[in-house]
Structure 1
Amino acid sequence: MARESNVQSGFTLWELLLVLFLMGVLLTTVTPHFGSAAQQVRVRVNLANMEKIEGAAQLYRIDVGVYPSSVLDLVHIPKGVSGWRGPYLIEVPINPFNSAQSYQIDTFGQVSYSGGR
Structure 2
Amino acid sequence: MNVKAERADGEGGYTLLELLVVIVILGLLIALVGPALLSQLGRAKASIAEQSIERIGSVLDLFKLDVGSYPTTDQGLQALIAKPAGVSGWHGPYLKQTTLPRDPWGHRFIYQAPSARPGLAYDLCSKGPKDVTAAPGAPGMICNR
| TM-aligned CA distance change 1:62 to 1:7, over 3 Å | closer
Q: Is 1:44 paired with 2:47?
A: yes
Among residues 87, 96, 99, which one is paired with 2:104 in the alignment? Answer: 96
Task: Kindly indicate whether the alpha-carbon contact (under 8 Å) linking 1:54 and 1:109 is maintained by their aligned counterparts in 2.
Answer: no
Task: Kindly indicate whether the alpha-carbon contact (under 8 Å) linking 2:101 and 2:108 is maintained by their aligned counterparts in 1.
Answer: no
The structure with the greater share of residues assigned to helix is: 1
> Partner of 1:76 in structure 2?
82
> Partner of 1:18 in structure 2?
21
Three-state SS of the structure 1 residue aligned to 2:102 is coil
Whichever of the two has the greater Rg, that structure is 1
> Partner of 1:112 in structure 2?
125
Separation (CA, whole Å) in 2 of partners of 1:54 and 1:7? 71
Separation (CA, whole Å) in 2 of partners of 1:88 and 1:6? 75
Gaps of 5+ in 1: none
> Partner of 1:61 in structure 2?
64
Separation (CA, whole Å) in 2 of partners of 1:16 and 1:64? 69
Displacement, 1:49? 1.2
> Partner of 2:117 in structure 1?
none
Task: Kindly indicate whether the alpha-carbon contact (under 8 Å) linking 1:64 and 1:82 is maintained by their aligned counterparts in 2.
Answer: yes
Displacement, 1:71? 0.6
| Aligned-CA RMSD value | 2.3
Count of paired positions? 112
| TM-aligned CA distance change 1:43 to 1:113, over 3 Å | closer
Percent of aligned pairs sharing the same letter: 29
